[in-house]
Structure 1
Amino acid sequence: MNDHFADIFTETACPSQDQLLAYVEGKLSPAERHNVELHLQDCDLCSEAVEGLSAIQEKDKIPGWLREAKWNVLKKLRRKNHKRRKQDFYLFIGIVALVIILLAIGLYWAYHFSR
Structure 2
Amino acid sequence: MNEHFADIFTKTACPSQDQLLAYVKGELSAEERHEVELHLQDCDLCSEAVEGLTAISQKDQIPGWLRQAKYNVLQKLRKKTRRRRKSESYLYIAIVTLVVIFLLLAFYWIFHFGTAK
TM interval, shorter chain, is 0.7 to 0.9
In the alignment, the residues of structure 2 paired with residue 78 and residue 108 of structure 1 have an alpha-carbon distance, to the nearest angstrom, of 45
1:1-115 counterparts in 2 under 5 A?
12-114=12-114, 115=116
Note the residue ranges of structure 2 that are not aligned, 5 or more in a row: 1-9
Whole-Å separation in 1 of the counterparts to 2:107 and 2:13: 66
Segments of 4+ moved more than 4 angstroms? none
Q: Distance in 1 between matches of 2:91 and 2:73?
A: 27
Unaligned ranges ≥5, structure 1: 1-9
How far 1:106 sits from its partner (Å)? 1.1
Q: Deviations over 1:35-70 (max 9, x none)?
A: 111111111111111011111111111100000000
User: Equivalents in 2 of 1:55, 1:11: separation in Å?
Assistant: 25
> Displacement of 1:11 after TM fit?
5.5
Q: Which has the higher contact order (CA 8 A, sep 6+)?
A: 2
Alignment RMSD, CA only? 1.4
Q: Secondary structure at the match of 2:27?
A: coil
Percentage of matched positions with identical amino acids = 69
2:92 aligned partner, one-letter code:
F
Give distance in 2, aligned partners of 1:24 and 1:96: 59
Aligned mates of 2:11, 2:64 — CA distance in 1: 25
Q: TM-score, normalised by structure 2?
A: 0.84
**Alpha-carbon distance, 1:12 to partner:** 3.8
SS in 2 for 1:28: coil
Whichever residue aligns with residue 69 of structure 1, its letter is A
Which residue is 2:3 aligned to? Answer: none
TM-score scaled to structure 1, two decimals?
0.86
